[in-house]
Structure 1
Amino acid sequence: MFGGIGINLGMTNLFSETGESLPCTIVKIGPCYVVQIKTIEKDGYCSVQLGMIDKKEKKTTKSLQGHFKKAGILPKRKLLEFRGDFSSNFKLGDKIDASFFEEGELINIKGISKGKGFQGVVKRHNFSGVGERSHGQHNRLRAPGSIGAGSDPSRVFKGKKMAGRMGGKNVTIKNLKILKIDIDQNILIIKGSVPGNKNSYLMIKKNGTKNFRYTRK
């Protein structure tokens, strides 16, 4: 089994048997439905596309309406594609929910990290600044310092750590442990934090699953 689509509902804490407080994230998993099964013969590669959260037909294009009708399901707001040959395990319209996971299982979670805007080198790259304020230097505390490379090659190398936009990138956190599962409400309680804001979409996969593609839709 590869995984599913989840929504970050926020954080809480649980207590271990020894009384230790464990930070946890509450994730609502699905229910997801198999929208499309791609094969090498027809599409050039193998994958399974999942959809989550119903969407009104009048807000769905005609082409996408036909796409969902082939699977026999209502239009979905969020789509995610898992790479790999899972055609023998699923068929169009199959439902995937919290029952596909087990307590104590390790999973990988992928999402878009929080956007923090344009940040300096101290916050973005953990620089310590040039040094203390002295000899009239009033603006050196959080400065990046020298960035040049001398007269040879007389340029700044690409990829140098400098100020810029921070966050808003695809981030994957591996080997997160499922502490509890509520099958009735399709909720996973996962140890630790996950990428993204509250109510953001998450891509959840079991360990050993091949790479999957995140799609902004």
Structure 2
Amino acid sequence: MKGLKQKKAHIMEIQVNGGTIAQKVDFAYNFFEKQVPIDAVFQKDEMIDIIGVTKGKGYEGVVTRWGVTRLPRKTHRGLRKVACIGAWHPARVSFTVARAGQNGYHHRTELNKKIYKLGKTGEETHDAQTEFD
């Protein structure tokens, strides 16, 4: 089976705050199958939190995933590795050691992002020019 090309969701989820659960459900129910303009949800100079999933990159090695330095050219059994993954004792690998694995498709939250401007694309005529240009 071929892998899915799309990594981005078709829909966007927005959290509804304030009031009781019944009030929140009624508020959200009124917006079903309707277009919601962005200025009905957000305002200028508002601080928001952005929650999303990073772009998935699949299984990656330690050099790409963690930025570990490559070993010298004459290294035996590969050079895109971690040279030492730990001491003999304790006889296990610590979780802080860089290892190969899944890169991307991780849940991330960006806190306190300010909305500077709301509007339609191409509506504004100011294109970094002054009246003297």
TM-score (norm 1): 0.39
1:94 maps onto 2:30 in alignment: yes
Q: RMSD over aligned Cα, in angstroms?
A: 3.1
Q: Give the conservation status (yes or no) of the 8 Å contact 1:121–1:163.
A: yes
1:64-103 aligned within 5 A: 78=11, 80=13, 82=15, 86-87=19-20, 90=24, 92=26, 93-95=29-31, 97-98=37-38, 99-103=40-44
Q: CA deviation at 1:86?
A: 2.7
86 and 129 in structure 1: CA distance in 2 versus 1, 3 angstrom threshold: farther
3-state secondary structure, aligned to 1:172: strand
Q: 2:91 aligns with which of 154, 161, 172?
A: 154
Q: CA deviation at 1:175?
A: 2.1
Instruction: Specify the alignment match of 1:118 in structure 2.
Output: 59
Q: CA deviation at 1:117?
A: 0.8
1:165 maps onto 2:102 in alignment: yes
Unaligned runs of 5+ in 1: 1-76, 186-217
1:107 maps onto 2:48 in alignment: yes
3-state secondary structure, aligned to 1:179: coil
Q: CA deviation at 1:80?
A: 4.5
159 and 100 in structure 1: CA distance in 2 versus 1, 3 angstrom threshold: same
Unaligned runs of 5+ in 2: 1-9, 122-133
The separation in 2 between residues aligned to 1:175 and 1:118, in whole angstroms, is: 31
The separation in 2 between residues aligned to 1:146 and 1:158, in whole angstroms, is: 14
1:181 maps onto 2:93 in alignment: no
102 and 85 in structure 1: CA distance in 2 versus 1, 3 angstrom threshold: closer
1:143 maps onto 2:81 in alignment: yes
Compare the two structures and name the one with the higher strand fraction. 1
Q: May I ask how many residue pairs the two structures share in their alignment?
A: 103
* Matched letter for residue 113 of structure 1: T
The separation in 2 between residues aligned to 1:144 and 1:83, in whole angstroms, is: 46
Q: Give the conservation status (yes or no) of the 8 Å contact 2:86–2:93.
A: yes
Identity of aligned residues (%): 29
Q: Give the conservation status (yes or no) of the 8 Å contact 1:113–1:170.
A: yes
Q: CA deviation at 1:162?
A: 0.5
